[in-house]
A and B are shown apart, each in its own frame.
Chain A
Amino acid sequence: MTRLFVDTWAASYGASFEGGDGPTSPSTAKVETDPEVPAGDWHPIVAPAGVHTPDLVLLVDGVQRVDGTLSTEEDDGTSFPGLAASYAAGVVRCDLARGAAELAGAQVARALFTASPSVGDVTAGQVRYAVHKVDGSGELSKLHASVQGPLTALEVEISGTARTDGDLLVVDGPLRGRRHLPRTIGYIKKQDKQYLPPALTLVVTALIPGQRSPIFKQGTAWGCWSWYLRLPGASGAPWSGIVRVECSPDLSIEQAVELANLSLVTLPRFASTSYKDPRAPQNLIPIAGLERRLRALLGDPRLLHRALTLAAVRL
């Protein structure tokens, strides 16, 4: 009989395994499944004895918020939409030996995204929205996506700070431009592509908390070593609590295995619980805390909206 499971994510965040047609939609990327274990021999892997959580774990994340939607009136009477957005990126340093998690660095930036050729910076009260020119026609729906670029740049910039020997850097999302950083893993909490052939996917869905899949290599432009693991606190559904972790393709397979085992003992202890976080267990506790802090740093949205309104009137 078919079993039903309710996803632990709150419905407004979508499902942890959607995007496109869900993880069932095959990826076009070239995948090598043999580096660690031959494809015919795939089985869940547990961390070998002697692998311990590092004392220092750094987690990087960024948040963005639209403070106001604007529109311009050009000299020729045409109009362009504009998006005034605040975004911030920060690092949490979890000193597990000392039992203290703290904000190790945070940067806030604001920008006005628009395709208008004539508009300048907007100064609203004490804050300033620097103009960020967008190519193309600049429809409002595309402006939202254009915030991601500067935010990722900010995240990349801040990822390099606050590093010490023996730590582990967990980046929320794909590694992107951070492959050169040592001891760094990318943490992808939402599974929207199926990289593996169906037979191997069954190995992934059979994982229990504390197990990971063997490492495989994605061969896309952003190719990297990658593996799946299941976090505790999942609902029991095949894809519930499954996250994909990746590391730099420049590493040797031995180094990648080492990082994979390290992630297997480290990440589960950061898993959140469903009654506290709408995206549990994938949204890690330090990340959730960091996002709250960063949102606080973005400033009061009502205040900014009012300041923007005033600035637009004076302009």
Chain B
Amino acid sequence: MVHDEAVADETGEAVGRVLGTADATPLQFWTAVAPGSYLQLDDVVVTRRELPDRGPVTIAGVVTQVRARHEGAQFDSDVFAIADGTLPALVQEAAEITTTRVDPELYVPPAPGAIVRRATGDLRAAALHFDRMEKRVPMGTGRDGLPAFLNADFLDGSRGAHVSISGISGVATKTSFATFLLYSVFRSGVLGGDAINAKALIFNVKGEDLLFLDHPNARLDDETTRRYAELGLPATPFPDVRVYAPPRANDSSGAPDVSSRLAGVDSFYWTLAEFCEARLLPYVFADADDERQQYTMVVHAVTAHLARHAQAADGGISIDGTRLGSYPDLVDFVVARLTDEETRGTWAGSAVNTGTVNAFARRLIASKKDLARLIRGDLAARRPHAINTAESAQVTVVDLHNLPDRAQRFVVGVTLKTEFERKEKAGSAKPLLFVVLDELNKYAPREGSSPIKEVLLDIAERGRSLGVILIGAQQTASEVERRIVTNSAIRVVGRLDPAEASRPEYGFLPPAQRQRVLLAKPGTMFVSQPDIPVPLCVEFPFPAWATRPSEAGPAPSATLRSIVQSADPFAVVGGRTEDEIPF
């Protein structure tokens, strides 16, 4: 039906013509699909319009809706007469095209009747703005099986930063996509020389899924390898991973609490001296609504008192002549001092009444069970135990899944604060630090305020210039602090709950895509980036690294070394940097 009457240099298969029965606008138009052709959702098409004095305008777009109907049928039951062969009717398919690019930028509607072609090669890249991306991160394949890219400028902080991933847990594969994106950033060469020093900090909140990033996936097949190759990526596990796990509860040796990964896991904890000196007490009270309570005054007074008076003493601390060897001891000591009329004034200030002190004491005592294994006074202070991405491997995985809620908040809050302060001191955006954090709605809820939320807000608003990139995932973006979501340049959506999909946080999805996210299958994500006016539907390949113990191939040799061996045996014990010769 469609004849090649158009310009000869146009390439690509003609698939139809611009409809005249529906309004064609510069931003959206309908295409009648020619008999024998088809268009599916997400196909990229291009059409041209000759202007009298300005030369041709190329209008490119993606298919956002497709419909088919019987023309010539008046009644619903006519379909039987048509299928029976008695009523003449046409099956006519039409596709809604949402414009992604108009080149040159003359926003004229395409002419009804103009030939619409499937965009391939350079035309497709131009339609999706890939040609204007200086640095492109492959993020999967489009529905047409060709690679789709993310503009790295919006990921590395040059023009934007942060990724927000939403979707139902279990089906939306949020964490898998976050790790794939990291892998792609590190391995695609888009960061150039910076890739070597760029770091990632991943919090593992569910199962031991992320503890095997450095193990090859035993279920990796040729097909998956080929898909990685099409994206320009090797199909290998992460080469350089260090895994941290909390110490086992009630275990005086401080061995990491993991069950499936046996080698290459280091335990992390804070000594009592660090707890006091670095003023970590507020992170114990990290519930969302704590900031509104009266007792926060007490928290800050006690934190300051501990920082001022606690002396490191052989792993533990000593305050006012009393040696404390564990977190429960410290809690009991603080509570005793606060209940004592004589000492309360010096610990909490004079204007605090007993009710407030009791509220503080009640919460502090409740934290004993959860935090005892993380804040230690019984392990050697010189044993490496701190999470520090700068000195760690390229990818640092912090396992939280065994920890109770309060302890998870403490670890996330303290770790992020430490890392952010370290980057702040360094003062330069490079090397980049990617932070992957699931369940962002728990740490930065829309309502209330907490120390962790403050850290996350800081990262969202200032992290871009400091090189801290937040890759946050959550089931429901509507429950996450609005300023964090709006600061994310890249928004990713996997399968969504129907009620959630209708919320304004997903306004970047066109209506048809809002319906499609309800049925997105695992591995399919809708990615919105500032460059492209329509979110792209991408499928990312099956992970090349193990995502559970049963998939794990042979462990890499590097994991066999323990943290004790990895520490420099010749380093001066307890050496302080300011003692070094100043040149």
Chain B associates with chain A: yes
Residues in A lying within 8 Å of B, measured CB to CB: 92, 94-103, 269-270, 276, 285-286, 288-290, 292-293
Shortest beta-carbon contacts, A-B, top 10: A101-B88, A289-B87, A289-B88, A99-B85, A92-B88, A96-B85, A285-B86, A94-B85, A285-B87, A101-B85
Asked if B72 and A99 make an inter-chain contact with CB atoms under 8 angstroms apart, the answer reads no
Asked if A269 and B86 make an inter-chain contact with CB atoms under 8 angstroms apart, the answer reads yes
Near A by CB (< 8 A), chain B positions 77-105 give 77-78, 81-90
Report the minimum CB–CB distance from A307 to chain B (whole Å): 17
Report the minimum CB–CB distance from B68 to chain A (whole Å): 15
Closest Cβ neighbor of B74 among chain A residues: A276
Q: Which residues of A contact B583 (CB under 8 A)?
A: none
Say whether, besides A276-B74, A276-B75, A286 and B83 are in contact (CB < 8 Å): no
Asked if A286 and B84 make an inter-chain contact with CB atoms under 8 angstroms apart, the answer reads no
Bound CA span A100–B91, Å: 11
Asked if B89 and A101 make an inter-chain contact with CB atoms under 8 angstroms apart, the answer reads yes
Say whether, besides A99-B83, A101-B82, A286 and B88 are in contact (CB < 8 Å): yes
Q: Could you give 18 example pairs across A and B, Cβ below 8 Å? A: A94-B86, A94-B88, A96-B84, A96-B85, A96-B86, A101-B87, A101-B88, A102-B90, A276-B75, A276-B77, A276-B78, A285-B81, A285-B87, A286-B88, A288-B87, A289-B87, A292-B74, A293-B88
Q: Which residues of A contact B82 (CB under 8 A)?
A: 101
Given contacts A276-B75, A286-B88, A289-B89, 16 further A-B contacts (CB under 8 A): A94-B85, A95-B85, A96-B84, A96-B85, A98-B85, A99-B85, A101-B85, A101-B87, A101-B88, A101-B89, A102-B90, A269-B84, A276-B77, A285-B81, A285-B87, A292-B72
Asked if B85 and A100 make an inter-chain contact with CB atoms under 8 angstroms apart, the answer reads yes
Chain A interface SS verdict (over half)? mixed
Interface centre among B75, B82, B88 (most CB of A within 10 A): B88
Interface centre among A92, A99, A286, A289 (most CB of B within 10 A): A289
Near A by CB (< 8 A), chain B positions 339-395 give none
Report the minimum CB–CB distance from B190 to chain A (whole Å): 53
Bound CA span A270–B88, Å: 12
Q: Which residues of B contact A94 (CB under 8 A)?
A: 85-86, 88
Bound CA span A94–B86, Å: 6
Tally of A-B Cβ pairs under 8 angstroms:
46
Bound CA span A290–B87, Å: 8
Asked if B86 and A293 make an inter-chain contact with CB atoms under 8 angstroms apart, the answer reads no
Contact of B88 among A97, A99, A102, A269 (CB under 8 A): A102
Bound CA span A288–B85, Å: 14
Bound CA span A98–B84, Å: 8
Asked if A290 and B88 make an inter-chain contact with CB atoms under 8 angstroms apart, the answer reads yes
Q: Which residues of B contact A102 (CB under 8 A)?
A: 88, 90
Closest Cβ neighbor of A101 among chain B residues: B88
Contact of A99 among B74, B75, B84 (CB under 8 A): B84
Q: Which residues of B contact A98 (CB under 8 A)?
A: 85
Asked if B88 and A103 make an inter-chain contact with CB atoms under 8 angstroms apart, the answer reads yes
Report the minimum CB–CB distance from A158 to chain B (whole Å): 14
Bound CA span A100–B88, Å: 7
Bound CA span A98–B86, Å: 11
Q: Which residues of B contact A288 (CB under 8 A)?
A: 87
Binary per-residue interface labels of chain B (49-85) against chain A in the complex, 1 for a CB within 8 Å, 0 otherwise: 0000000000000000000000010110110011111
Q: Which residues of B contact A276 (CB under 8 A)?
A: 74-75, 77-78
Bound CA span A96–B88, Å: 12
Report the minimum CB–CB distance from B73 to chain A (whole Å): 8
Report the minimum CB–CB distance from B20 to chain A (whole Å): 12
Closest Cβ neighbor of A269 among chain B residues: B86
Bound CA span A289–B84, Å: 14
Bound CA span A100–B77, Å: 16
Asked if A293 and B72 make an inter-chain contact with CB atoms under 8 angstroms apart, the answer reads yes
Q: Which residues of B contact A92 (CB under 8 A)?
A: 88
Interface centre among B75, B82, B84, B90 (most CB of A within 10 A): B84
Bound CA span A100–B78, Å: 13
Asked if B85 and A270 make an inter-chain contact with CB atoms under 8 angstroms apart, the answer reads no
Q: Which residues of B contact A95 (CB under 8 A)?
A: 85
Closest Cβ neighbor of A100 among chain B residues: B85
Bound CA span A26–B464, Å: 98
Bound CA span A289–B72, Å: 7
Q: Which residues of A contact B85 (CB under 8 A)?
A: 94-101
Asked if B86 and A101 make an inter-chain contact with CB atoms under 8 angstroms apart, the answer reads yes
Asked if A286 and B86 make an inter-chain contact with CB atoms under 8 angstroms apart, the answer reads yes
Closest Cβ neighbor of B84 among chain A residues: A99
Bound CA span A98–B82, Å: 11
Q: Which residues of A contact B72 (CB under 8 A)?
A: 289, 292-293
Bound CA span A177–B81, Å: 31
Closest Cβ neighbor of B83 among chain A residues: A99
Q: Which residues of A contact B86 (CB under 8 A)?
A: 94, 96, 101, 269-270, 285-286
Report the minimum CB–CB distance from A270 to chain B (whole Å): 5
Report the minimum CB–CB distance from A172 to chain B (whole Å): 14
Bound CA span A96–B85, Å: 5
Q: Which residues of A contact B90 (CB under 8 A)?
A: 102
Interface centre among B81, B82, B84, B87 (most CB of A within 10 A): B87
Report the minimum CB–CB distance from B7 to chain A (whole Å): 24
Report the minimum CB–CB distance from A251 to chain B (whole Å): 26
Report the minimum CB–CB distance from B35 to chain A (whole Å): 11
Report the minimum CB–CB distance from B160 to chain A (whole Å): 51
Report the minimum CB–CB distance from A178 to chain B (whole Å): 21
Q: Which residues of B contact A290 (CB under 8 A)?
A: 88
Q: Which residues of A contact B88 (CB under 8 A)?
A: 92, 94, 101-103, 286, 289-290, 293
Report the minimum CB–CB distance from A283 to chain B (whole Å): 12
Report the minimum CB–CB distance from B111 to chain A (whole Å): 16
